[in-house]
Every structure is written in C-alpha cells, then in structure tokens.
C-alpha cells in the first residue's frame, strides 16, 4: 500500500508538473505573440520612415539641382554685368562727376532692377509683365534669364 501511494504521489506530481509547465508555455507563447505584433508594427513604421526619407532625399536632390541651375544663370548674369562695367578706359568715377544726374538716374534704375533680381532669386513670383517681356526694351537687363523667361536675345 505504501508503494502504491508512493507511485500515485509521483504520478500526481508528474501530472501537476506537466500542467504547470503547459500553463507556463501558454504564458510564454502569449508574450511572444505580443512581442511579434510589436516587432511587426515597428518594422512597418521603419519601412514608412525609410520610404519618407527616400522621398525627402529625392526632393532635396531636385531642389539642389534647381539651385545649381539658378547659380549658373546668376553667374552668367554677373559675368555679363562685369563686361558692361569694364569697357575700354571707362572711369565710372570721373563720369559720375561729369554727369551726376544721368549717372544717378542710371544707377537708381539699375539698383531697382537688381533688387527685383534678388527678390526673384529668393522665391518671389514673376509678374505678368516680366513673364510676357519679349523685347529688349521690356526686360530686366540685370538678370533677364531669371526675370524674363520668354525673352530670347538675338
């Protein structure tokens, strides 16, 4: 009888132990499922972030390309302006003293045009007059390439 009780005790302990072990496995499985769901969510968020970063990078490259084109155009305009001021033996200082009113009028007009060039380069919208200018008398002579897109020099 003692041995029988002993084996029943061992058997009951084994069944209870197996039950406890199965319940632990079920808890672990539930935790693993939750972690898997969180991981999938994090992976999806990272994929969205990567996609957004790729789009942002494309936008940055496009903006950089546009800026490089604008810089090239502005360099050309600066070279053209430099050529206008550095003609044979022209001394702007002496000319300004001799013809003060004319030089003041020319300088003020060119300053206004240059200011408009800076506004356009900074993102200001073109006016209809600027967009439609096709004749040399209608254009902004300081930066025709960005201020007057429809003007084609002859």
- 107, 76: one domain: yes
* 137 is a domain residue: yes
Q: What is the pLDDT of residue 40?
A: 94
Same domain, 85 and 130: yes
77 with 103, same domain: the answer is yes
- Given 32, 58, 84, which residue is the final one in a domain? 58
pLDDT of residue 80: 78
Residue 37: per-residue pLDDT: 94
pLDDT of residue 143: 85
Got the DSSP string for the chain? -HHHHHHHHHHHHHHHHHHHHHHHHHHHHHHHHHHHHHHHHHHHHHHHHHHHHHHHHHHHHHHHHHHHHHHHHHHHHHHHHHHHHS-TT--HHHHHHHTHHHHHHHHHHHHHHHHHHHHHHTTPPPPHHHHH--SGGGS-TTSHHHH-TT----
Same domain, 98 and 141: yes
pLDDT on residue 86: 67
Whether residues 83 and 40 share a domain: the answer is no
pLDDT score, position 135:
86
Q: Determine the structural domain holding residue 7 and report its residue range.
A: 1-58
Are 19 and 52 members of one domain? yes
pLDDT at 92: 73
- The contacts of residue 110 (CB under 8 Å, 6+ apart) are 141, 142
Residue 64 lies in a domain: no
* Tens place of pLDDT per residue across the chain (154 aa): 778 888 888 888 999 999 999 999 999 999 999 999 999 999 999 999 999 999 999 999 999 999 998 888 888 888 877 777 666 667 777 778 888 898 889 889 888 988 998 898 888 898 888 888 888 888 888 888 888 888 887 6
Number of domains forming the structure of the chain: 2
- Kindly state whether residue 85 falls inside one of the protein's structural domains: yes
Q: How far is residue 71's CA from residue 87's CA, in Å, rounded to a whole number? A: 25
154 and 90 inside one domain: yes
* 37 shares a domain with 84: no
Do 35 and 77 fall within a single domain?
no
At residue 45, the pLDDT reads 95
Q: Considering only CA atoms, which of 32, 130, 117, 27 is closest in space to residue 73?
A: 117
Answer whether residue 122 is part of any domain. yes
Residues 77 and 145 in one domain: yes
- Let me know whether 94 and 127 are in one domain: yes
Q: Are residues 83 and 152 in the same domain?
A: yes
Backbone angles phi, psi at 129, to 5 degrees: -60, -40
């Amino acid at each position: 009888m003692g041995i029988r009780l002993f084996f029943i005790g061992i058997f009951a302990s084994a069944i209870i132990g197996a039950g406890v072990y199965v319940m632990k496995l079920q808890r672990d499985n539930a935790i693993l499922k939750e972690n898997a769901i969180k991981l999938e969510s994090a992976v999806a968020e990272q994929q969205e972030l990567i996609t957004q970063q790729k789009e942002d990078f494309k936008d940055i490259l496009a903006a950089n390309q546009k800026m490089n084109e604008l810089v090239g155009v502005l360099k050309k305009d600066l070279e053209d302006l430099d050529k206008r001021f550095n003609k044979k033996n022209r001394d702007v200082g002496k000319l300004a003293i001799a013809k003060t009113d004319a030089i003041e009028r020319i300088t003020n007009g060119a300053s206004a045009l240059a200011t408009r060039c800076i506004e356009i380069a900074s993102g200001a919208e073109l006016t209809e007059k600027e967009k439609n200018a096709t004749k040399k008398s209608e254009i902004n002579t300081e930066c025709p390439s960005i201020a007057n897109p429809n003007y084609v020099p002859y």
